[in-house]
Amino acid sequence: MPGVLELPTDVTGFNETDVREEIIAPLLRHLGYRAGSSANIIREQSLRYPTVFLGRKNLLRDPPLRGRADYILEVEGPIRWTIEAKPSEAPISLDDIEQAYSYACHPEVRAVLFVIISGEGVRVYQTNRGPSNGPIMIVPYSELPQAIPRIENILSPAAIHRDHPEITLDDGQPIGPGLRSIVRMVTGFVEFGECAPDVPLLREITLFIDEGALERAEDGKLVAYVRTRSPFRSVTS
């Protein structure tokens, strides 16, 4: 990423286009987003909303609703977040927040986060919390240069990929109540009760587990795969 993000010091009178060109564009470049890359930028995406109606559908009476998302950011394809640009003079209203939320939760977008950027600063919202729960981050414009590391920790491609992994449902036989079908081991130890052939020295040592996994075999028995560390390079009888 570039080392220094240069932004205008005075944003008085900035309209939406100014905010996009002078604030959002350099910020996205600094974060590492580029059109056509694995951290992709989609600009001004037109979205169609299904009409809510009562009784028989009438396309003349109930025309389709449309909207246009300013920015949709894609990380590795399926993970998305959005940005709405607003002018510098008007304070962010509830209508602005609900508009940004409506784009983020659109079925074609399904963004994990939505962001509003204006001359006031940057507001980051978590989509699944809805538009009324307040932002998870607010950065006033005057503090934006100093807050870039915090913004990177939420909105950079690496952070988005880290914090919002693609979830795969586990339909295997669970190890136990409340557990998955495969359990990762992060630590532990092995103590020997007996072994064949008998190695007396093994009964005196403890093997520490570096990593491993536990899962059920097709016959229902538990199978453990572990990598251990012992205090000896080799053991002979």
Q: How far does the chain reach from its first CA to its final CA, in angstroms?
A: 57
Q: Where are the alpha helices (DSSP H) in the chain?
A: 16-19, 25-31, 94-104, 148-155, 157-163
pLDDT score of 187: 85
On average, the pLDDT of the chain sits at 85
pLDDT score of 49: 58
The token duo for 174 is: 């669970």
pLDDT score of 20: 95
Residue pair 93/141 in contact (Cβ under 8 Å)? The answer is: no
pLDDT score of 1: 43
pLDDT score of 62: 54
Q: Give the closest residue to 37 by CA, choosing from 157, 149, 163, 165.
A: 157
pLDDT score of 205: 76
Instruction: Quote the CA–CA distance of 136 and 129 in Å, as a whole number.
Output: 10
In order along its 237 residues, the chain shows pLDDT tens digits of: 455 788 999 999 999 999 999 999 999 999 999 999 999 999 988 887 555 444 555 555 555 556 788 999 999 878 999 999 999 888 899 999 999 998 898 888 899 999 999 999 999 999 999 998 999 999 999 999 999 999 999 999 999 999 998 777 888 888 888 888 888 888 888 787 777 777 777 677 788 888 889 888 878 888 888 888 776 666 555
pTM: 0.71
Structural domains of the chain, with CATH: 16-163 (3.40.1350), 168-237 (no CATH)
pLDDT score of 178: 84
